[in-house]
Amino acid sequence: ETGVTQSPTHLIKTRGQQVTLRCSSQSGHNTVSWYQQALGQGPQFIFQYYREEENGRGNFPPRFSGLQFPNYSSELNVNALELDDSALYLCASSVGQQETQYFGPGTRLLVL
């Protein structure tokens, strides 16, 4: 059984650029949630995708968007990057919307 994978592992961008982060869910999981974790903080919920539809969103602006594909993998897109977007971006998959979430290793994004 393959766990949750994310790519890339690290990324450096400049302000104003756009970034796409990718996540493959664990086998058998149909739900993907994305989180942002700033240094010294707990993960903050960005949004969740269930059966290719956004299924809940945290307090993040519209420049944070996502997709889920038929194979349940997912992308997080961030437009017009700001310095404060520098963080660890975590993807978590689950067998359902309210079930236990299993995390991937994350993507570390640095915005200069």
Partner 1 sequence: RKEVEQDPGPFNVPEGATVAFNCTYSNSASQSFFWYRQDCRKEPKLLMSVYSSGNEDGRFTAQLNRASQYISLLIRDSKLSDSATYLCVVNDAITGNQFYFGTGTSLTVIP
Pick from 55, 65, 73, 86 the residue near partner 1 by CB under 8 A. Answer: 55
Distance of alpha carbon 84 from alpha carbon 77, whole angstroms: 15
Interface with partner 1, residue 41, by CB under 8 A: yes
Interface with partner 1, residue 56, by CB under 8 A: yes
Angle at 102 between CA 28 and CA 48, to 5 degrees: 80
66 or 106, CB closer to partner 1? 106
Number of residues that bind partner 1 (CB under 8 A): 24
Interface with partner 1, residue 40, by CB under 8 A: yes
Nearest to 71 by CA among 89, 104, 93: 93
Pick from 26, 43, 74, 85 the residue near partner 1 by CB under 8 A. Answer: 43
- The answer to whether the CB of 87 falls within 8 A of the CB of 96 is no
2 or 100, CB closer to partner 1? 100
Q: Which two tokens stand for residue 19?
A: 């970034």
Residue type, 83: L
31 or 74, CB closer to partner 1? 31
Please name the residue ranges forming H helices in 15-101. none
Q: Point out which residues bind partner 1 (CB under 8 A).
A: 31, 33, 35, 40-45, 48, 50, 55-56, 58, 90, 97-98, 100-106
